[in-house]
Amino acid sequence: MQGMSFKSSPVKQSYGPQYVDIGGKEVYPSLKGSKMSISGGKGIKPLSTFTLAPGISVGKFNFGGKYKGGTTKSKTGGPTGKLFTGGTATFSTGSGDRVYTPGFKGSISGEYGTTKQLGKGKKTTGYSGRVSLGIGRSGSGIYQGCPGGKCGENLLGYNIKAFGEHGSKGSYNPGTRVGLSGRVGPVIGEGSYNIKTKKPEFKVGVTIPINK
């Protein structure tokens, strides 16, 4: 049985994280999916949300805890919203982290935990899952050196994905939806059809990823 050791990724030596070698597997600390955003839509008041997802990445798999919430104004003008505490797992596939050129991206993710309704004290427990397929690139900041031969070039990241998701009755987002989501830089948008209510849902907003 191989032991445990701490190493630095040779590919990401200048700016990448340390990893732990466990049984020949590179295990990285991860905040994948962590972000803050503000969004709204037709008939929807502006909603501020946050997601914190500390965990680990092993190859194409990511495992971790998740703490997320959203707040908006109630009909009486006071704050209302909900908080989720639980665990999550994601399997990602595709052409990797394309900084400058678009590539295929896909993922299957799921979460399980407890949702608390703010102001009501009500707690429910449930699960949800999401499958998405699309294309995109991560974009770049001004890195040291000249990755890809494009020294100092700053490109916006973007993606467009088709998705399907389902949440149980006690989950953070109950119901079944299919739709399209997209991002250009910090601007996000999503349009979906709720199979249970038989109504379309739309939202647009801005987001700031915490894990980049």
| Residue 145 to residues 10, 22, 50, 139, 148, Cα–Cα distance (Å) | 15, 31, 33, 16, 10
Sorting pLDDT into bands at 50, 70 and 90, what band is 205? Answer: very high
pLDDT in the model for residue 119: 77
Q: What is the pLDDT of residues 97-151, one digit of tens each?
A: 677 788 999 999 999 999 999 877 899 999 999 999 999 988 765 444 444 555 5
Query: Cβ atoms within 10 A of the Cβ of 59, count?
Result: 11
Each residue of 74-110: pLDDT tens digit?
A: 666 666 789 999 999 999 998 766 777 889 999 999 9
Per-residue model confidence (pLDDT) at position 53: 95
Domain extent listing, the chain: 1-30, 34-209
Predicted pLDDT at 10:
47
For 11-36, the pLDDT digits (tens) are 444 445 688 888 888 999 999 889 99
Distance CA 119, CA 175 (A): 23
Return the pLDDT at 151. 52
pTM of this prediction? Answer: 0.80
Please provide residue 87's backbone torsions phi and psi, each rounded to the nearest 5 degrees. Answer: -125, 160
For strand 61-73 and strand 44-52, is the pairing parallel, antiparallel, or unpaired?
antiparallel
Tell me: the pLDDT tens digits for 33-69?
A: 899 999 987 656 778 999 999 999 999 999 999 999 9
Query: How big is the CA angle at 39 (ends 185 and 125), to the nearest 5 degrees?
Result: 115
What class is the 34-209 domain? mainly beta
**What per-residue confidence (pLDDT) applies to 140?**
67
- The pLDDT of residue 1 is 42
Structure tokens at 118: 């703010």
pLDDT at 153: 59
**Distance in angstroms (rounded) separating the CA atoms of residues 77 and 208:** 26
pLDDT of residue 11: 43
- Residues 6 or more apart whose CB falls under 8 angstroms from that of 119 comprise 74, 78, 79, 80
